[in-house]
A and B are shown apart, each in its own frame.
Chain A
């Protein structure tokens, strides 16, 4: 028996039923996804409780520590060392999680909300509305993601909020396309035809019947979009387009100037970078696990 078949057999015997029950069971038994969940939980915990965990204020400078040039590495009093202006690196990395979490959430919400509305409209209304909306999405997709974000930042000016919006906007066509595909697939289902035959208004059908079923690919894409949002915003921060106040402990911005110091203070570049990798890895693991768990092809195969 193949792996899918053994799992399906186990499912039959142990018993949760329905898409969500089965998906949750599969997820719980997927070691990689659990690891990802642990990473993300740590990330969120650090982000929420940074003010209580961090040993010092991330913006507090202590120039006496860098009297002999940049920059002292890890030591007993500063576990991650100190940056070019004498700020405690550990505190900065911990606070950086707050920015990354905020950024990820806002960008994904922006992309998700506009994307869902546009995609659902296009998929359900069809014809003219569909063509117009999809052409617009195609045009947006004609410019590679980061460059589109750069263009938006050029228009809005640099800053933390602006890069969140920019990355969010680049996510819109992706979610729109996804949802349109989902809605198109659902539209011809029997329960939809039945609802229409009874006279349920189109709007109700869309919201109460189609959307709940079209959600699973959106959830998977949402977690993966969170991962890419964190990376993209770090990238924009690295280019100097993010928060213009250099004391802001955002991970990407923290990496900008460190290239100069690779010889003397590599920890300044490596540690924030590793923080990004670990958080993004967590979201990617969960996203992959979700995708496998929700895959209808694996359901009830005996």
Chain B
């Protein structure tokens, strides 16, 4: 077990190094050159020279790379061109919003998707089964941002039930120790704030979670269908175990394995899809931050943002692999 973990951690290093090289080269491929990229539009010939000296851009490329690596490992991504604040600071401001949205979307997808897939498999060929197949298909065919727009139209514009943009009604004032608005409302003991932040969270979470929902439902259904026919399930039933016990202890448990494998994939999707969902709902997370950065050619932000997201993604995949090894003894012992 430990050997597996260590092996996976060691594999992580070349990938992270490779990523850093990729981004390093990418900054140098940007129009205008890296000094211009770091300064933005306010670059004058003199300030360019200054930046070049400061960042060692006049030195040979391997020395540049080493210094870049040093800075990045300290999570120093430079300063945002538009706000002049440290990129790492802005990441810390924006990241919780995206995490809150992503977690809610994932929760929605899992809480709805697994039961749906399970019931669909148990009643193969029935109404629920066909419904789940249609839902899955639609789920992956509707672009996330279009679903967001539709939900907004139905629930905010036409029915007026839910708010259209943002995380919280600007008139409600609470402290934000964790920057997770739902958590902060609970900590502040403010039920109005809690209700309001939840209302703001619902539509974006559903829009973002639609595709993971579709995928999870499908995979659960396929996994349960497969597991149902396995010998050990037949044995459990023959033993006389209550159907519900068989379902939960044997069928569901083993069907969960394929789902764990794709969680990594889903997190990657959530990180990418958040960009679109946040734009539709004006959610102040990493997504909107990156989109603004592209439009304003804010390359330090882009560099830091992309590296950070990739890092998170790689770490999540590592955790998923490790937990899969824990859950599946065959991998652990191989």
Question: 17 extra interchain contacts, Cβ-Cβ under 8 A, other than A139-B18, A147-B309, A281-B141?
Answer: A139-B15, A144-B310, A144-B313, A151-B26, A151-B306, A154-B302, A155-B26, A157-B31, A239-B276, A255-B149, A262-B152, A266-B157, A273-B150, A277-B142, A280-B141, A281-B138, A284-B141
Closest to A36 in B: B137
8 A Cβ contacts from B12-59 to A: 14-15, 18-19, 22, 26, 29-31
8 A Cβ contacts from A150-181 to B: 150-151, 153-155, 157
A240 touches B295 (CB 8 A): yes
Q: Given A139-B18, A239-B276, A269-B149: A151 and B141 within 8 A (CB)?
A: no
Question: Which residues of A sit under 8 angstroms from B310, Cβ to Cβ?
Answer: 142-144, 147
B143 touches A142 (CB 8 A): no
Question: Which residues of B sit under 8 angstroms from A288, Cβ to Cβ?
Answer: 137
Partner of A146, one of B14, B138, B142, B273: B273
- Interface 9-mer from B177-185, B240-248, B264-272, B319-327: B264-272
A138 touches B15 (CB 8 A): yes
A262 touches B153 (CB 8 A): yes
Is the CB of B187 closer than 8 A to any CB of chain A? no
Interface residues of A, dominant DSSP: helix
Q: Given A238-B279, A255-B146, A284-B137: A154 and B272 within 8 A (CB)?
A: no
A277 touches B143 (CB 8 A): yes
A276 touches B146 (CB 8 A): yes
A147 touches B271 (CB 8 A): yes
Partner of B143, one of A241, A276, A285: A276
Partner of B149, one of A143, A155, A259: A259
Instruction: Show the binding face of B for A, using Cβ within 8 Å.
Output: 14-15, 18-19, 22, 26, 29-31, 137-138, 140-146, 149-150, 152-153, 157, 268-269, 271-273, 275-276, 279-280, 290-291, 294-295, 299, 302, 306, 309-310, 313-314
B137 touches A145 (CB 8 A): no
Q: Given A147-B290, A227-B141, A239-B291: A142 and B149 within 8 A (CB)?
A: no
Question: Which residues of B sit under 8 angstroms from A143, Cβ to Cβ?
Answer: 19, 306, 309-310, 313
Q: Given A259-B280, A281-B141: A150 and B275 within 8 A (CB)?
A: yes
B306 touches A135 (CB 8 A): no
Q: How far is the CA of A239 from the CA of B15 in the complex (A)?
A: 29
Is the CB of A290 closer than 8 A to any CB of chain B? no
Question: Which residues of A sit under 8 angstroms from B314, Cβ to Cβ?
Answer: 142
